């Protein structure tokens, strides 16, 4: 694994941390930061899915699209939130420590 994977992992973990803090503080953290983090997952997921032909990257985009709804306050299921956040966290840690 090269340095690009480590940088991507750090960005991945930072973005999910922003989303977690936003969801837990319910508005004490700027929504625009959380929206940028959600956008990161969608763009990264779509781009890597096409570039690398990797279905796990497509799941990043799906997770980002789902997390857009809780960030906007439109829909949130604690079970789905935990599943998608857990998936993104483990993927970030996997790439960081691989």
Q: Show pLDDT as tens, one digit a residue, over the chain (98 residues).
A: 678 778 888 988 999 999 889 888 876 778 889 899 999 999 988 888 888 777 778 888 999 999 999 888 888 788 888 888 899 999 888 888 87
Joined together, the tokens standing for residue 59 give 């799941």
Joined together, the tokens standing for residue 40 give 């990161």
Q: What is the pLDDT of residue 98?
A: 77
The pTM score is 0.84
Q: What is the pLDDT of residue 24?
A: 87
Tell me phi and psi for residue 40, to 5 degrees: -60, -45
Q: Where are the domains of the chain?
A: 3-97
């Amino acid at each position: 694994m090269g340095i690009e994977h480590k940088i991507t992992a750090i960005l991945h973990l930072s973005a999910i941390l922003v989303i977690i803090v936003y969801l837990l503080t319910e508005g004490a953290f700027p929504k625009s930061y959380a929206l940028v983090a959600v956008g990161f997952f969608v763009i990264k997921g779509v781009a890597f899915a096409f570039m690398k032909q990797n279905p796990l990257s497509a799941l990043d985009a799906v997770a980002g699209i789902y997390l857009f709804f809780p960030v906007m306050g439109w829909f949130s299921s604690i079970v789905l939130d935990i599943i998608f956040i857990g998936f993104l966290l483990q993927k970030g840690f996997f790439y960081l420590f691989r």
